[in-house]
Amino acid sequence: MTRRILVVCVVLLLASALTAAGQDLSTIKLPPPQTDGGKPLMQALKLRQSAREFGVEKLAPQVLSNLLWAAWGINRPDGHRTAPSASNRQEIDVYVTLPEGAYVYDAKVHALTPAAPGDLRGLTGTQPFPAAAALNLVYIADTTKLARPATDPQQALNVGADVGLIAANAYLYCASEGLATVVRASIDKPALAKALKLKDTQLIVLAQSVGYPKK
């Protein structure tokens, strides 16, 4: 009997430790991006392609830092970014799903801010491979930053174009760095929005899996 109580206590303790670990995400300060080096642009363009098979390795913090800066970092003192955006509204947030949780990229401080605990990689797509990628970027429009409602057809086109430009930057960085990547529209958006605790004013546009190529 005493042994059974002991086992129950250990299980409860482990469960609460795991829950606490999941909920205790803290801000990840990224190392400053390396803004020189990499392959020449024309070589990166030659190598750009989609890949849907990923190795198990995580991205090193420096590689993650470089990827996010290349995709949607601040590249000028006035706060403008590596990708253009319609009227410089900068309405796109890049969420990053890692095995330990989901984060939002804060370009101003070049850090990842916790969004939701737990491994949401698989939820970022309806295909099987996003769960196996080192991370998935999720491009989410904050429609409160738009000049007109997102239902306006031109606004919707602008949002799509803005995301496409960020995703293209990520593709080119991946091509330069020898990473595997694919941008994706196949997403169960209601399920992902719930898991990421999004507001009604936040629109999931596309996701992009990134990782090392499968050997």
Chain contacts with ligand FMN (rule: CB under 6 A): 49-50, 52, 127, 182-186, 206
The DSSP letter of residue 209 is E
**Cβ 141 vs Cβ 150: under 8 Å:** yes
CA within 13 Å, CB half, 81: 28
Shortest spacing between CB 78 and ligand FMN, in angstroms:
30
Read off the amino acid at residue 82: T
Cβ distance to ligand FMN smaller for residue 23 or 186: 186
Cβ closest to ligand FMN, residue 30 vs residue 196: 196
Query: How many degrees, rounded to 5, is the angle at CA 176 between CA 174 and CA 177?
Result: 65
**Strand, helix or coil at 160?**
helix
Q: For residue 29, count other CB atoms closer than 10 A to its CB.
A: 12
Closer Cβ to ligand FMN, 52 or 58, answer by number:
52
Q: Which is nearer to ligand FMN, 27 or 186 (CB)?
A: 186
Provide the token pair at 195.
């898991």
CB of residue 181 to ligand FMN, shortest distance in Å: 9
In the complex, least distance from residue 199 CB atom to ligand FMN, rounded to whole angstroms = 24
Q: How far is the CB of 84 from ligand FMN (least distance, A)?
A: 17
Within 8 A by CB and 6+ apart from 160, the residues are 205
